[in-house]
Every structure is written in structure tokens, then in C-alpha cells.
A and B are shown apart, each in its own frame.
Chain A
């Protein structure tokens, strides 16, 4: 076994590697941070990689985790070796089946990248709150603390489950371990065959259901026997600990890597001992070793086998000298006597005391602490702080560490200067953008060093919460010894800043150690760089004696044909100056890696990267650092004048990346946050922004309609509003008759635009003397930024049009309405957000949104700032996200609640009408609220009502006052993506559609799970490559609209704004006006489709013109008018389906993988398109019989009971 492969991988890959090779089936569903495990498995299956028995595992994606575990249960009952991967809420959906699987003593390992469970907020990051909810299922639970251990214990868990028949939940910390790259010695197939004995596999298979030896499982039992039968499994649990210990020992013999269920590390005579599991245990043990070497008597117990919690063994691991035991839980159980592991430890100690088996003799003091919720950093300094606390005469019995709790004062003070890392480890930090390839390049560097040299390497990547212009910080360590540091770098010997504008606001050099190397991508000549630095940066460079290098990477990238990707260039510079490897050796290694990485993408790509490497070396320069800072440029920071207090105190700190410093008291207690805060972020991510040419403009407002970020806006207004306008504020006479005589302006929000180009692409107006120029043209942002900031400020103050006096509602006029969704963090060019923005323009001041988890909940509600905002009256969308799967039901609940408030208010009105006055009551109750005018009048009536109520002494006056706003019609919208609507939430969505309530459903259909990284959904069209459909999806897209139509009482529309924006507006208005369930399925182009999103509108047009995405509206109201309810709004097929497919990488890559399959699938797509259109065409000719006609032809409906039911 000596020739085991060394690979630099993250735990997701390390675990998937074992699971894939030891499974016959895997049933999966994406959820962060576990998704990559399923993706690896699917990729490997697509590549015909084999398990250790020579078969290719079957990988099947289901509609939800509940579905996945159901299928897993079935596979297991059929005697197959099966696995699944999940986290957080996904794990929760598996719990019911976990009881079954365990109750039936079924050998099975599930792998969990442990993640926070949503409470007051969602978090995708890591802690143990999910796995802790599985304690009672009967699963054994095995915790891994690093990448190698995750790999190893994946195999150990399998051996144990097969031997013991107890199913295993194997977990490791989400992100911190699941996404940390580290060097792993990979178990060979031979190893795995040794670990997983064939006789156990055979026994497992023999327990499977088969008609050849029929048995029955899943009976229903009654009070007479259930209890006894439940106790029958006890011997298996009793036998389990020994099995685990033996399998760990057998593993050690095979590999030399030692694991024990409860491992003590530390001073043999320790007085303070920490109990901890997961990645925190690695930090704790490394810190303990460091402090013991300094003479401290402390120790640490690493808990690997958490369930069953083997109290005897745990106690036996304690040094006899233990006086204080500190139990660290990475979860919170409000209301409990202590966190879960704390309680387990107390139980163990009490039992040992009662059995007189406590090695310490006297019961030690046990204190419990919470740490690391949602991947909060857990550092050696914190470990030390905990031991220091435990050493006090009166330590806190319950505490938290890693935060400042100034409310309940549970937190411990931490000495941040404490550090255990030795200087022989190279610690490098890279500040980059998601789009510039920094993370990819760093992953590459780690693999180069980890796989190709004797050095150890570690990488961890931190992203901000935005999708467009997201900032990334890469933390890389390289050293001669294994790197056991699952926390961020605090003192870096190398810092690279890949984006010059970061210097303006971020404290890039905060973590730079003295004498560190600083590499900057600066768009200046060598001798100009220094003078362009903010003075604060200059001062730090001087005071920390940094060695400073600069390169104009963007120019090098351009010259090498790399576009805006500076990854290879900055990577080359890193290797050239960081000293990790010899320069020549490093450059050769980069080129080898380029060949390996890009070779499969073609020679041209390799050639350009090679060019980039060579040019980088020639263009990087050391910058001479003067003795004193001289710059006149000052860093700007995030605080701005006019910021609301909360935004200033809390959100601006988060924007600056210093949210960790905020104390508990800074936060709302229930997760409620203010709206309208993105406007304070001013991210300035666009290199170029559009500039308006009023003379060419035809005032169609299409640019505004398509803008994903509400960053280009039109207004019409009286010329008098221009008084005091900045001198270069542009405006022009309005051209159309509806606002004749008024002035028109189109203004860009210069700091909020992402530079996606969608607006310029859609602009239909061309300069006739030079058609290359349009009415808006992209220009560099920097030179016009200040001017346009002033102009935009002035523009925002100009009053909007009176929405009650809109001559008509269409795409153009809709853009004169104030968007109440602005500057979201969605991808530049996002195809979803124009719909969301439109929704807020049409109904925003009375809108309640129930938002399924997904992209729309992330750009809609991810902190630090959120895009839903308010109008001048302080009204705007109220927004909430419950879960992924329950959104339709959640929205229905909101609808029921609001309807009840309205009915209550109406009842009260009638009850006290004599106090209010009959005419006002009558007017309110009979108000027509089908138009903006009607709604505005009702608002005025409510104001009048409140005045009356204020003077009323009626006992119920104040109650009515509190409910009065519900007398104004609310618009309730249920929003989500296709993953929700077609898959995980379909059951609920279907049910809500079946009910008669007035809810509106907007499905932002990107045809793929966009938020979790492009996994196939039931909306994914045939022929598209997606994760879990790597070879191209082989079945047709589900027709959600057609299914909804089958109820016949629901309003259904299919829209694509890029093809027909007026149609989109019409469908939104009709859906809102329909008094019953409505659903709009909206084509949303997406980064996961694989093309430059500035072409999104053109591609939408092609989708409709080719018939791939038909536009239609199904309006049940037309039935009573004797008309067919289905109207097809795109009958003219003008384009070719294959032309549509070839434009997008998701389809085109299938051709590049397997041309024959592409031909078959594209042919099927053509056929399906034709069939669907033919079906719709037929349906659009059907006018249903009127109720009278139906009654006359069907005597049964004259039966009273049937007619009543029908009503």
C-alpha cells in the first residue's frame, strides 16, 4: 500500500471519493455546502469511473432531500450499498426516514457537511445545529476534524455500519472542512476492499427484500408489542462502540493513521480539559500542544464517536488530575439546561460518579461554552481565552467565545495578539473579485504545490455575499509540516490585492506581518503607482517595512487575449516573488498546471495562458518605497452623511468587512431588519457605465426595464423641477403625447451600476451618422463618477409621476413608477431581477413577498444591505423568507392572515359605524380598489377614518385604528425559482393553486438550480448540461404552466420580457387583478446558461421566436365571456431551435462532449417544441361551454348536492 496517491483536495471531494467507490447507488439533492459531494459523484459516474466492485454507481437526483432519503431507504431495502450527502434543512427533511432506516437496523452512511439551521436568519455556513437535531434518530454519529480525517472516517464509518448494522451519520464542518483544500493521502481501491469486507457486503445484500425469500418490514404495531420490539435492537447499540474501536484500530494497522473514539491530547496531569469535536478540535489540540510546551497543565478530548456517546470510554479518557472540564458546543439549544454535548458530559460524569468509576475521584467542575456558530472563527486565541477562564477561581459556568456579548455578558475576552503559528509557514492572502479568477488561480497554486512538491498546502476561501462584483479573500498556507490551522490567516507574509479600487475602502494590509511582501495590481506605470495609493496604505507599507511589487495585470491580460481574467498573471507574480518555490521551478510548474487545467479546453486557451505567464514576469516591478507617505488621496470608508443610525452603527461596519466586531447589542433580537439599505453601499463595481445621449434617445425606457439593478431610471416632470439642477444634468423635451409639454431625463446611478451592458444592448436607438453609437453608450466610470453622483442625487429628488394619472400601463410607462427594489447583489445582467423590480414598480407600496430560498432570497435578503426599499410615504414591500420547500404554503398563510385582518377591520367598521359615520363606512366597504386611483382614494378614506377614530371614545376605536391599513388592498406574491416551484416546493405550490385564494405566484425560471451552482431541476430543458445531468439532460422540461391550467380556475401566464416587455406587464397586471390563484412562469436568463449576459435579451427573443419558450396567458375570466381562456401570444415562429441551443454553453458543451448525443437531444428538443406548440394551439381554440350549456347537456349537475359541491 506504499504507493498511495497524495492529492490536495477539500473534504467534499475527499469524502465523495470514498462514498463513490463504495456505493452501488447514491441518491442526491443539492444543498450548500454539501452539494459538491453529489456533483463529484455525478461527474465520476458520467466519466464511467467505477466502484471497488467494478460497477459504475447509479447517481440519481431527486426533487428534495425528503425524496432523496426516501429513495435511499428503498435502495437499502433492496440490499444495495447506498449513500447520500446533505446538510442543514436538507438533513432535517431526512429525519423521518432516518428513524425508519435506523429502526430497521440498516447499514448505511450519510455524509453531512454540517451547517447552521435557519432560525432568525438563514446561514449557509457551518456549525452543528443540524446534526444535533439527529441525536434521537438512532443513527451513530461520527465527527471528523480535518480533510484527511473526513476521508478516512468515511471509510471507517462504512466498515462500522456494515459490521454493526447501525446506520452512520458522518459529519465534518461545513465550509471550514468541506471547502478547505489540504493534502490528503488517498485510500486506494485496495485499501477500501480491505476496510469493507466482502462478507459484510454480502450480508447486507442478503437482508434485502426479495420475492425469492419473501419477508415483510414496516408493519404497524400496537401497544401490546411496539415497546418490546423497540427494545429488541439494544444489543446492536451495545456492541457498536467496540466495533468502532476495532475498526479504527484495523484502519491504523492498514494506514498508520490512528483514530480513537475519544482521544486525549495534552498534559498527562492536566487540571483543565476541553471537550470538543469537529474542526474546532483541531484548533484546540494544536493550541493545547503549544501551551503545554509552555508549561501549562491543560488537555483536550477530541470526540469522534458522538452517538452512541460511550460514557465509560469518555470518562476513561479523562486525566485523573482534571479539575475543570470545558465542554464546547458548536450549536445553541435555547431553553435547555446546557448545550447537547455539555449534557452528554454531565450525564457521563454523573453515571461514573454513581458507579464509583470516576478517575478523578471527585466530580470535576463542568462549564459549557458555545463557539463558532455559522462558521464564526474559532482561533487559538479563543482556545486560550477559554482555558484562562477555566483557570479562574470562579469561571463562568456558561459562556460564549468569539463574539462580544454585551447584553447577557456571556462572552469571554480574547487576547487577539496570541498566535501559535510558526514563521516557517508561508501565509498568503489574496484579495480579489469573484469574476477575476483569483480563487480559481489560488486553488490551482495549492494543487501545484501540494501535489507536485514535498510541501504541505492549505487553502480556504472567503466570499462576500454578493453575486455581482463579489469580493473574495483567499487564505493560503504552505509549509514543510502538515498544516493544522482551520482558521483564517491573521499575520500574512504575503498579501496580494488584485483590484486596485479595494484600497479605497478596505484595510487590505491589516493582516500584513512586518516585512511581508505586498503585490498590487495597479492600472498605472511603474513610476506612477506610489502616488496613486491612499495615504493610509502608504503609511502601512512604510511602517510595516513591506516589500512592494506592482503589475498592471489588466493590460497584460488584454494583451495576452485573456479578457478581464487576471488570474494566471497574478498567480505567476505570486510564484515569482513569494519564495514558496524557486522561481524557475515555479514557472515551469505553473505552465505544467496550465496545460493540465486548460488543455482540455483547447490549445488556444493554453497558448493564451502561456503568453500571460511570460508577459507577467516582464511587467512586474518592485516599487521603491520612499521614507515618508506623501499621498493626498485618503481612504473613503463606508460611512456616509445621511445614513440612518442603524445603518451607520451596524451595516456600515459589516460593509467594511468588520461585522465580527459588532457586539450582541447591535442586533435586532428577532431577525427583523430595515429595508432600503442597498443605497448606502455604493459598491462601485463597474469599470464602465452607460452614458445617455438625449439627442439620440427615443424615450422608450427599455434600458430601464431590463436593468437588473434599477441603476438606470427615467423620469417625466415639469420643467420647473430643473430649478437648481447641476450644470451638466441632462434633460430633454418629452416626445410622446401622454405627457406632452413635460421634460424627460434618463439618469444612471453611477456607483450602483454593475456595468453589465444589458441596457446598451437592448437600446433600439442608433445615432444615424454612426450606428455604433446608441442613445446610451458605455464609458469609463472613474472620470464621470463624481459628476454623475451629483446628477443622480438631483434626479432622485425630482418627483415621480402621479401613479394615479398614468395614461396607460405598459412597459414604457411602468418605468416611470418608482422601483422599490434597487441595487441588489444579483449577478451583473441577471435575468430574474427585472421581473422583481417590475413587481415593486407595479404593486410595491402594498406588496408582501413570500420568498423561497434561492437566488431571489439571497439577492433579496442577504446582509449587510437589502434591496427592497420604500417610497416617499415610507411604504414599500414587506418581505420574508421561510424555507425552500414551503414557500407557497407560507405565502398562502400570509394571505389568510391579511384577509382575516381585513375582515376584522370591516366587521369593526360596521360595529361602530354610528361613531364613524355611515357615509365613510359605506364608501370604505364598497370601495373599488381595482385601479391605482381607487387605491389612492381608499388610502385617503383610511386617513379620514383614523382622524375620526382619534376623536372617538368607542372601546374598539383603537383596535380598528390598528387594523385600518388592511382596508387598503394588499398584493401578496409568492416568489421563487424553478428548483422550488418545479421540484422541492411543487407539492405545496400545487396545493395552493388548487385553492381559491387570491395569491400570486411568480416563478423566476432559470431552468436550473442557480443559487447552489447549476444543478439540474425538472425545469432544465432536454439537451442542457447541468450538474447531475453532466451528459446533457435526457428528458423534457416539465410543463408547469400546463399543469396549472389543468385546474382551470387559476390564472396562468408564461412571459419573457426580452421578447415582449409589454406582454410581461400585461400578465403581471392581469395576475394581480384576478381574484384567485395566479401563476406567472418567467423566463430568466442566467449565468448558469453560459454566455455573456449582456446578450440575455437577445437570447430571450430567440427562445420565444424559436418556440422554445411560448408566451401565453390563460385567464379563467374569459370562460364566462364565451372565449377560449388560453391565448397564445407568440404564434409566429421565426427562428430555429438549434440556433437558440448553440448560443448557450449549457447546450453547446454537450456537442463538445458527445456530438452524437447532442444531435439526438437537439432533435428531441425540436420535436418537443413542435409538439408543445401544437398542443397549445389546439387548446387555444377551445371555448368552454357556459354554465347553462353545461347544465343542459349534463343532467347530473342539476342535482342539488353536486351543484353545491361544484360551487
Chain B
């Protein structure tokens, strides 16, 4: 079965891409992912903020222990160099590039305008085939409105797009007031891939101790529905390729992604739980499903359940909401 697709300008043998996750921190699992059929690799994100914080805290720790007393003017050895920038990440990128044949996309979570473009250039230099921008903006303050949030994001996109030759994708949050409009502008700004949506770490509350807990919760297929809806809405209206991430676990999940118009589906939780070999199981399952349902290729299926093509567009729209409420009240 021909599962080939194109995403961010790359021809991919199948649409199931391992998403940004700790799986790429280890070369062994990177090789396993490729062996299992990964058509492309998205590396874990480098967080500019985390790097800055590491620099500041290391500097603080070394500084606070300096010049304190006549016997101990310092407390730590003085290495000539620390690897405090993205060097470690770039080195891993180089190693992955050397280890695999498929395209490798570096993932970047920046904070400052300079940081985004600077790091993107470094990633390109280190051999990245593309960059996925992970825009993770939580506008908690009352001082910033929705249009400013969008403008900031678009500026980052334009900046990075202008700074590198390689294709750029952007992973966005589901919390834009007008996601389709925003996606359109992102595409106009040069984005080749639109990744729906970021899953944030959610803090939980310990009610006994009045503290917050930070647990990593893996996704479930239930989370897919919101992504399907928005992908369905965007398909055909924007020029970028769409990838869905967050809740793709089964063959059926992957099929749905393609049906709403995505070119690819990114998997993380499913691979963390089942291991890299799960990719092969899913691609084989997709092939089988397509054969059983007499599709000739993946392309044939892409977008057939998008908002524009579905027979019941109202169910993606408000009707969907109405219907569920009604069925709930009846039961």
C-alpha cells in the first residue's frame, strides 16, 4: 500500500512521525525509530529559557561562593568552558543526522526574538533539515491582548523564516481566538507545516498540602477530537501542510488525522508507552486498513472528512455541540 505523503516539502514514506519527545535524546532509540519506519524525526525541544536559566543559576552558584572568606575565595574548580548554550543539543542533532537517513527536524522553544533566530541559524548550521517552532506563550498578564499575542508569534515566525533556508513548521496552542485565521497568517508568513496542537504540562493541586504538583500525563485518544475539528476546518483554506499531534495512538486515530486533511500525524505518548516498534505496527495496520477499505493510496483519503468535504459540516460546527447536549439530556 502506498502510504507516502508530503510534509514540510519532504516526501515521506508514511505519515507517522515521532513527535518532539525525550526519545531523541538517546541515539539507540533514534535508530530504533528509524528501523520501525519513522519517515522523519522531530527532535526534543531546546528551550531557550531553560538554557538561560541554567546559565544564570550556574553563574549564581559559582558567584555566591566567591570572595566570601580569606581561606575560601572560591569553592569550585574553574573549567575553561561550560557547555551552557545549545551546543549539547546541536551535538545531539549532528549525531542523529549522522545516524539516520530520514530528515531530522530540530525543535525550538525560544523566548527572546534574538534567541529564536540565533538558535534557528545554529540548528541549520548543525544540519537540521527543518525547524519546528514550539510557540509556548501563556499570556497570564492583563497587559497583553489577543492580537498582540498573535502578532508576537507571527513576528517570531517571520524572523526565523527569514533567517534560515530550511523549511519551518510551527506547533501552536489551541488557545487562539481565531485559530484558522491565525493559521492562515502563519502560512503566509512562511510556515510550511502547522502542528496542531501543543500539549502543555498541567499543574495539579495537592489539596492537603496546598501545593502544586507537576506530573507528566500522557495523552489519550480522547484528546484527538479537538485537533480533528480544527484540522478539518483548516484543510483547504491554508497553504501549509498540517500535522496533528496529541492523542494519536491507534491505527484508527491515524486514519482520522489523514481524513480531516493532515499530511502527517505525530506520535509521542503512544511511542513512550509501547516503544519505537509501535510505529511499525501502526503503519502495517494502516496499510491493512486501507487495503480492506479499498483505498489505493493515502492521498486518496486525505481530507475526505474535512469541513469542506464532509457531508455533515454542521457537526464540526455548533451542531456538534448541540447534538451532544441533546443526547446527554435524553439519556
Contact = CB atoms under 8 A, between A and B. Distances in A.
A435 B73 CA distance: 11
A39 interface: yes
Contacts of A598: 59
B76 A467 contact: no
Given A43-B78, A602-B84, A1030-B79, A438 B67 contact: yes
A470 B69 contact: yes
A739 interface: no
B70 A175 contact: yes
Interface string A991-1033: 0000000000000000000111110000000000111011000
A1030 B77 CA distance: 5
B45 interface: no
Contacts, number: 151
Contacts of B70: 32-33, 124, 175, 179, 461-463
Contacts of B2: none
B119 to A, nearest CB: 11
Contact of A1152 (B52, B58, B60, B64): B58
Contacts of A391: none
B55 A1011 contact: no
Interface string B65-93: 11111111111111111111100100000
A550 B144 CA distance: 37
B52 A602 contact: yes
A663 interface: no
B84 A440 contact: no
A1149 B67 contact: no
Contacts of B218: none
A1146 interface: yes
A434 B74 CA distance: 11
A1011 B73 CA distance: 10
A1155 B56 contact: no
Contacts of B79: 43, 46-47, 600, 1030, 1149, 1153
B68 A601 contact: no
B178 interface: no
Interface stretch (A216-224, A806-814, A1084-1092): A1084-1092
A1177 to B, nearest CB: 30
B58 A1013 contact: no
A1145 B77 contact: no
B82 A1149 contact: yes
B77 A43 contact: yes
Contacts of B76: 1014, 1025-1027, 1088, 1090, 1145-1146, 1149
Contacts of A561: 56
Given A827-B68, A1155-B88, A1013 B54 contact: no
Interface string A1152-1192: 11010000000000000000000000000000000000000
Contacts of B51: 602, 604
A766 interface: yes
Nearest to B66: A440
A437 interface: yes
A602 B77 contact: no
Interface string A834-869: 000000000000000000000000100000000000
A439 interface: yes
A1152 B61 contact: no
B149 interface: no
Contact of B71 (A604, A766, A1011): A1011
B210 A771 contact: yes
A42 interface: yes
A32 B77 CA distance: 16
Contacts of B55: 601-605
B65 A1090 contact: yes
Contact of B56 (A124, A600, A604, A1014): A604
Interface in A1079-1117: 1087-1088, 1090-1092
A1030 B60 CA distance: 19
Contact of A1088 (B63, B75, B88): B75
B52 A467 contact: no
A463 B69 CA distance: 6
A42 B210 CA distance: 48
Contact of B67 (A35, A440, A1010, A1088): A440
B62 interface: yes
B200 to A, nearest CB: 22
Contacts of A1029: 77
A1113 B301 CA distance: 69
A159 interface: no
A1043 to B, nearest CB: 27
A46 B68 contact: no
A7 interface: no
A496 to B, nearest CB: 15
Contacts of B78: 43, 1030
Contacts of A547: none
A32 B74 CA distance: 13
Contact of A434 (B54, B57, B67, B210): B67
Contacts of B67: 434, 437-440, 461, 472
Which of A32, A1145, A1155 has the most C-beta atoms of chain B within 10 angstroms of its own C-beta? A1145
22 contacts: A32-B71, A35-B71, A47-B79, A124-B70, A435-B68, A437-B66, A439-B67, A467-B69, A472-B67, A601-B59, A601-B62, A602-B58, A771-B211, A1013-B75, A1025-B76, A1026-B76, A1030-B79, A1145-B58, A1145-B61, A1146-B76, A1152-B54, A1153-B79
4 smallest CB-CB distances across A and B, nearest first, come from A602-B55, A1013-B72, A1030-B77, A439-B67
